[in-house]
């Protein structure tokens, strides 16, 4: 099935709820429909493309004068199985959290800590979604999709996806070029628990027996207590990445602010908590018009109703410069800004 529109409002296609327009909008459920569309409309190849999944990591600052492609491929299928593991091919259009729920109920384990993350399955590898000590890269086997430049479809094994903290080949070399149509996950039939992050263990223990369903419930409870539901309050999750800084700067800051959260990162560097830095600068709970900073998590920017993309962008810029002035740390957006 395909759907095609001109001058199409993206309000329902981004979790900030920004009312920006796309010049053209194309949605497909089967790869053949996409290739047929692109073959018949060759002019698109020179046009600007925007690949849009669930729009849960996107700030639309302006209307988009090009073609938005929205892959809505459905389906979950077991493609291989051993005694300990199972491989599932999942359509890019499937809702992420519905898929996690299905896995836990089917006794396919690994993704429980990633419960309740907004967005689609197709977007998960793009920014290598992560939460509570787990990154999706550890459970991805291959990413399947269509390359707009070569006009061919192919599979990319996880080892070649250049997965890193909230990053991958799909945000870099293959940005707006490779359309993810499905993802193959490799999950465990026997649970392995990762409970070291923050209060997760305590939250699971409250529920009694240690099992993946209780891990899922605990993650959902923690997220609901801190993170706004995009259906109720427009937001795109963490707006900035947690910054990774040199040990020298981290030590200097630690001397001035001993209570500052800091975690060891690669190459002797140190990862800081952007939410903490932003809160220290006084932004938590800030609101101007309908653009604001969430009252329970300073890393989350929110749209209280009719904030424009420009207003949210300006707010993000002000936050960024105040953190740079006070701490000498450059924040980098996690969300895609268009
Ligand atoms: N903190 C504050 N004030 C705040 C927010 C956080 O002091 O307003 C402190 C907390 O007390 C804690 C530390 O900062 O000591 C870390 O906070 P938290 O556990 O809430 O996690 P985060 O680093 O702010 C990251 C991810 C989230 C993910 C959580 C849990 C990034 C950019 N964000 O947030 O991911 O859910 O860890 O694993 O890495 C997302 O990517 O959209 C997202 C929500």
Residue 236, ligand 1, Cβ within 6 A: no
Residue closest by Cα to atom 2 of ligand 1: 276
Give the residue-averaged pLDDT of 184-190.
98
What pLDDT is attached to residue 229? 96
228-253 pLDDT, tens per residue? 999 999 999 999 999 999 999 999 99
What is the Cα–Cα distance from 226 to 59, expressed in whole angstroms? 21
Q: Answer yes or no: is pLDDT of 47 > 80.
A: no
Same domain, yes or no: 97 and 216: yes
Q: Residue 22 belongs to a domain with what CATH number?
A: 3.30.43.10
Query: Which ligand 1 atom is the nearest neighbour of the CA of 238?
Result: 42
Instruction: Judge if 215 and 264 occupy the same domain.
Output: no
Mean pLDDT of the chain: 96
**Which of 170, 194, 226 delimits the end of a domain?**
226
Residue 242 CA: nearest ligand 1 atom is 32
Mean pLDDT of 303-326: 98
Asked if residue 258 and residue 215 are part of one domain, the reply reads: no
43 pLDDT above the threshold of 90: no
pLDDT of 279 strictly over 80: yes
Q: Is the CB of 334 under 6 A from ligand 1?
A: yes
Q: Are residues 83 and 153 in the same domain?
A: yes
Q: How far is the CA of 262 from the centre of ligand 1 (A)?
A: 12
Domain CATH code at residue 284: 3.90.78.10
Taking only the tens place, the pLDDT of each residue in 192-230 is 999 999 999 999 999 999 999 999 999 999 999 999 999
For residue 57, the CA-to-ligand 1 centroid distance in Å is: 15
Contact 178, 125 (CB under 8 A): no
Neighbouring residues of 260: CB distance < 8 A, sequence distance ≥ 6: 253, 254, 272, 273, 276
Decide: 14 in ligand 1 pocket, CB within 6 A.
no
What integer is the mean pLDDT of 244-268? Answer: 96
Q: Is the CB of 277 under 6 A from ligand 1?
A: no
Q: Is 305 in the pocket of ligand 1 (CB under 6 A)?
A: no
The parent domain of residue 169 ranges over 76-226
Question: Which pLDDT score, from 0 to 100, does residue 48 have?
Answer: 87
pLDDT score of 211: 98
- Predicted TM-score (pTM) of the model is 0.97
132 lines ligand 1 (CB under 6 A): yes
Is pLDDT of 263 > 90? Answer: yes
Q: How far is the CA of 275 from the centre of ligand 1 (A)?
A: 6
Whether residues 256 and 166 share a domain: the answer is no
Q: Taking 90 as the threshold, does the pLDDT of residue 45 lie above it?
A: no
- Assign residue 315 a region (left: φ > 0; alpha: ψ between -120 and 50; beta: otherwise): alpha
Question: Which residues carry out catalysis?
Answer: 166, 238, 334
Report whether pLDDT(46) > 80. Answer: no
The dihedral of CA 97, 101, 106, 109: what is its sign?
positive
| Binding site membership of 238 for ligand 1 (Cβ less than 6 Å) | yes
- The whole-number average pLDDT for the span 23-50 is 88
Helical packing angle, 96-106 and 212-226, nearest 10°: 150
Q: Is 282 in the pocket of ligand 1 (CB under 6 A)?
A: no
Ligand 1 pocket, mutate which of 276, 323, 331 (most atoms under 8 A from CB) = 276
Is the same domain home to 179 and 274?
A: no
Sheet holding 49-51, edge to edge: 2-9, 21-28, 64-71, 49-51
pLDDT at res. 42 = 79
| Beta strand 178-188 pairing with 85-91 | antiparallel
Task: Check whether residue 85 and residue 216 sit in a common domain.
Answer: yes
**pLDDT tens digits, one per residue of 137-180:** 999 999 999 999 999 999 999 999 999 999 999 999 999 899 99
Distance of CA 284 from the midpoint of ligand 1 (Å): 13
- Give the per-residue pLDDT at 326: 98
Q: How far apart are CA 323 and CA 320, in angstroms?
A: 5
Domain endpoint, select from 226, 260, 276: 226
pLDDT for position 197: 96
Ligand 1 center to 222 CA (angstroms): 11
d(CA 73, CA 59) in angstroms, rounded, equals 24
Residue 84 has a pLDDT of 98
Task: State mean pLDDT over 276-305.
Answer: 98
Model confidence at 291, pLDDT cuts 50, 70, 90, reads very high
Q: Are residues 36 and 151 in the same domain?
A: no
Split into its structural domains, the chain has a count of: 3
Question: Ligand 1 centroid to 87 CA: how many Å?
Answer: 30
Is the model's pLDDT at 284 over the cut of 90?
yes
Which of 126, 128, 234, 273 should be mutated for ligand 1, with most atoms under 8 A from CB?
Answer: 273
pLDDT at 44: 74
């Amino acid at each position: 099935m395909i759907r095609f529109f001109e001058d199409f409002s993206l309000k329902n296609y981004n979790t900030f709820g920004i009312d920006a327009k796309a010049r053209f909008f194309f949605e497909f459920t089967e790869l053949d429909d996409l290739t047929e569309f692109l073959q018949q409309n060759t002019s698109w190849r020179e046009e600007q493309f925007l690949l849009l999944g669930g729009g849960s990591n996107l700030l639309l600052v302006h209307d988009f004068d090009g073609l938005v492609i929205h892959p809505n491929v459905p389906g979950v299928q077991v493609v291989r199985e051993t005694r300990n593991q199972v491989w599932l091919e999942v359509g890019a259009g499937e809702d992420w959290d519905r898929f996690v729920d299905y896995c836990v109920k089917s006794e396919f384990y690994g993704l429980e800590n990633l419960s309740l993350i907004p967005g689609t399955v197709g977007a998960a590898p793009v920014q290598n979604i992560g939460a509570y000590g787990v990154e999706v890269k550890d459970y991805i086997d291959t990413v399947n999709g269509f390359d707009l430049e070569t006009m061919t479809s192919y599979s990319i094994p996880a080892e070649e996806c250049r997965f890193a903290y909230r990053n991958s080949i799909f945000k870099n070399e293959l940005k707006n070029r490779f359309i993810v149509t499905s993802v193959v996950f490799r999950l465990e039939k026997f649970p392995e628990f990762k409970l070291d992050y923050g209060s997760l263990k305590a939250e699971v223990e409250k529920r009694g027996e240690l099992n993946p369903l209780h891990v899922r419930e605990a993650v959902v409870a923690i997220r609901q207590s801190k993170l706004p539901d995009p259906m109720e309050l427009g937001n795109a999750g963490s707006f900035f990445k947690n910054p990774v800084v040199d040990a020298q700067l981290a030590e200097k800051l630690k001397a001035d602010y001993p209570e500052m959260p800091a975690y060891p990162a690669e190459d002797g560097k140190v990862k800081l908590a952007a939410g903490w830095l932003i809160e220290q600068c006084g932004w938590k709970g800030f609101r101007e018009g309908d653009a604001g900073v969430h009252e329970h998590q300073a890393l989350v920017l929110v749209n209280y109703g009719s904030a424009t993309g420009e207003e949210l962008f300006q707010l993000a810029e002000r936050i960024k410069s105040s953190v740079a002035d006070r701490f000498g740390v450059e924040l980098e957006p996690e969300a895609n800004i268009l």
